[in-house]
A and B are shown apart, each in its own frame.
Chain A
Amino acid sequence: MATRSDAPGTGATESLHGARKVGRYALLIFVGFLVLFPIYATLMQALKSGPDAIDHPKSLLPINLTLDTLRSAWTIGDLGRLMLNSIFVSVAVTLGVIITSLLAAYAFAFLDFPGKGAVFAFFLATLLVPAELTVVVNQRTMDSLGWINSYQGLIVPLVATTFGMFLVRQVFLTVPKDLREAAALDGVGHLRFLGEVAVPLCRPTLGALALFTFLGTWNQYLWPQAITTDDAHRTIQIGLERLKIGDIDKLNLVTAGTVIASLPIFIMLIAFQRQLVRGLTAGAVKG
């Protein structure tokens, strides 16, 4: 009994057998169904034609599926434009965060300079300030810069985070100081050491940071809503609301819109599951 084949877990020390195994599967399937239900129902609605969705909202079986609703949501909501905006802004912010985090983390991990403690405290202090506070003033700043309805406005305020610096610094701190000193004796400059030694070491962390930043930027709502008024610069998250305004018989356009808006993220998450877990748990689990 005490020998078990399952990996470390919450586990019962015995492996599951027979009836208990069946019970576990039944529970997993039932709970999985509940969690997925809203997504499944949305997908089914989005794959039905307008009249079908109204007449048979109950029908959850994939009958008479069509891409028409997705197509009209795409055209009516101008979703192509919104998606491109979201992609452009998210990629730009992600690249920015990677670069600023690498540089700042390097300074904190490998350099010794006067005022280091104070600057570090300054970075930490920013962690306490929520977006819900800064938007009031940042809206005005954007206004005076003429950055309302601009990509700069959507991107620039987000390209540095203390979270990113912190994550990269944790990896840099594991590099022995001797390594940097030996490199310095050989005449290797800071930027070359950063590019050739430090960056390769933290590649998995950078992957997690990139994914995490991309997701966060893609999903944000308050900031893009606060500084865009025209459709040319709106991101998909706030642009979707446009589909909601129509009559209730066009409500399945909203479901189609949500499906389209989530699709790239679903694909990314399935492709980068490991990085996601690493990113989400970076602050949560010690060691």
Chain B
Amino acid sequence: MKRRWRDFPVAVGMLLPSAVILGVFVIYPLVRAVQLGHLRCDATGTRCREGGWVQYVDVFRSNEFQHALFNTTRLAIMTVPIGLALGIGLAVLADKQIRGVGFFRTVFSSTVATSVAVASLVWFVLLQPQVGLLPDLFHGLIPTLKQPGLLNDPTTALPALAVSSIWASLGFTFIVMTAALQGIPRELYESAFVDGAGGWMRFTNVTLPMLGPTIVFTTVVLTTRAYQAYAEVALLTQGGPNPERPTESMAYLIYGQTSLIKNDIGLKSTAAVLLFFVLLVLALVQFRGLDRRVHYGN
């Protein structure tokens, strides 16, 4: 008992810097946002009145929030499975020990160097209907590229944004999957081979199950990213095209330059807390649902 208290002052000194930062800028904002989520404020954002807990229900059921939730969910459905499949595919492709494979690994990892903002601007220029390269090359095949442009057409805007998103995350997914592949003991492949398993059989019976934990991790990361989408919306579409606004994500609804609730700290808090809950529920569901099917080895 004496010992435990002897270390106490040192421990306090060492934990204080982190605890203060995390307390003030992570935990306090969480608590405060839940409180502020009760408030309704006027257009200038200065005078607020109590709205009560029911405000959470109201905002959640509002058309705006439901619309943003729907858009964001569509974005996740478009980006997560494809991003995951491409990451695994590239990793398997570059997993052979052949000459020059290191070069290809660098190429496949290269998009980690591009931030979401940079990736979005790259695609913005590539897709620009008048001078962009892709419309110039392929407008014969896909007329929408020129008229009115993928990002300006309500049906193609979100898929186009998803492409930029998938590309931006590809490097990350590839690196994580490559590292996981290298952790698979090669005896497993050898015994599968001896048992007469062909390439595809080895992939589905050895590779995929052994990648399980990494797939769960990556799915959660990619889903969380999709549900947090902000920079790509701000730079590619501003939530547009209007009036359908098919690319307005939840984060953009809260923080966007064109956001209706920009000055209302109450409604902003309500929506932010709801976004947090959505993320929390998704992470729990994914961990529980996927965990059951995962083989953790050993």
Contact A107 B15 (CB under 8 A): yes
User: Max chain A CB contacts within 10 Å: which of B107, B213, B254?
Assistant: B107
Within 8 A of A (CB), among B1-57: 3-5, 7-8, 10-15, 17-30, 32-33, 36
Given the complex, which residues of A lie within 8 Å of B22, measured CB to CB? Answer: 122-123, 126, 160, 162
Within 8 A of B (CB), among A249-287: 249, 251-252, 254-255, 257-258, 261-262, 265-266, 269-270, 273, 276-277, 280-281, 283-287
Contact A119 B98 (CB under 8 A): no
Given the complex, which residues of B lie within 8 Å of A2, measured CB to CB? Answer: 190, 193-194
Contact B106 A270 (CB under 8 A): yes
Contact B30 A262 (CB under 8 A): no
Contact B203 A10 (CB under 8 A): yes
Interface SS majority for chain A: helix
B199 interfacial by beta-carbon distance below 8 Å: yes
Q: Interface digits, B76-96 against A, CB 8 Å rule (1 contact, 0 not)? A: 000000000000001111111
B60 interfacial by beta-carbon distance below 8 Å: no
| Contact of A281 with B175 at beta-carbon distance under 8 Å, contacts A113-B4, A126-B27 already known | yes
B243 interfacial by beta-carbon distance below 8 Å: no
A186 interfacial by beta-carbon distance below 8 Å: no
Cα of A281 to Cα of B112 in the assembled complex, Å: 13
Q: B residues within 8 Å of A by Cβ?
A: 3-5, 7-8, 10-15, 17-30, 32-33, 36, 90-98, 100-101, 104, 106-119, 121-126, 128, 130-133, 136-137, 167, 170, 172, 175-176, 178-186, 189-190, 193-194, 199, 202-203, 207, 213-214, 217-218, 224, 228, 230-231, 234-235, 250-251, 254-255, 265, 268-269, 272-273, 275-276, 279-280, 283, 296-297
Contact A107 B180 (CB under 8 A): no
By beta carbon, the residue of chain B nearest A255 is B125
Contact B122 A42 (CB under 8 A): yes
Knowing that A8-B186, A10-B92 touch, tell me 11 more A-B residue pairs with CB under 8 angstroms: A8-B185, A28-B101, A35-B90, A57-B133, A112-B3, A114-B5, A219-B117, A244-B121, A262-B115, A265-B115, A285-B179
Give me the 10 closest cross-chain CB pairs, A-B, nearest first.
A6-B97, A219-B115, A137-B29, A160-B21, A13-B193, A8-B186, A134-B29, A221-B231, A9-B95, A157-B25
Within 8 A of B (CB), among A2-29: 2, 5-13, 16, 21, 24-25, 27-28
Given the complex, which residues of A lie within 8 Å of B235, measured CB to CB? Answer: 241, 244
A75 interfacial by beta-carbon distance below 8 Å: no
User: Max chain A CB contacts within 10 Å: which of B21, B23, B108, B124?
Assistant: B21
Contact B7 A32 (CB under 8 A): no
Given the complex, which residues of B lie within 8 Å of A119, measured CB to CB? Answer: 15, 19
By beta carbon, the residue of chain A nearest B224 is A130
Contact B182 A8 (CB under 8 A): yes
Contact A269 B113 (CB under 8 A): yes
> How many interface residues does A have (CB within 8 Å)?
103
| Contact of A16 with B98 at beta-carbon distance under 8 Å, contacts A100-B17, A136-B254 already known | yes
A95 interfacial by beta-carbon distance below 8 Å: no
Contact A12 B199 (CB under 8 A): yes
Cα of A6 to Cα of B100 in the assembled complex, Å: 13
Contact B8 A240 (CB under 8 A): no
| Contact of A165 with B96 at beta-carbon distance under 8 Å, contacts A57-B133, A219-B115, A237-B117 already known | no
By beta carbon, the residue of chain A nearest B207 is A10
A199 interfacial by beta-carbon distance below 8 Å: no
A41 interfacial by beta-carbon distance below 8 Å: yes
Contact A28 B128 (CB under 8 A): no
Given the complex, which residues of A lie within 8 Å of B203, measured CB to CB? Answer: 10
Contact B122 A9 (CB under 8 A): no
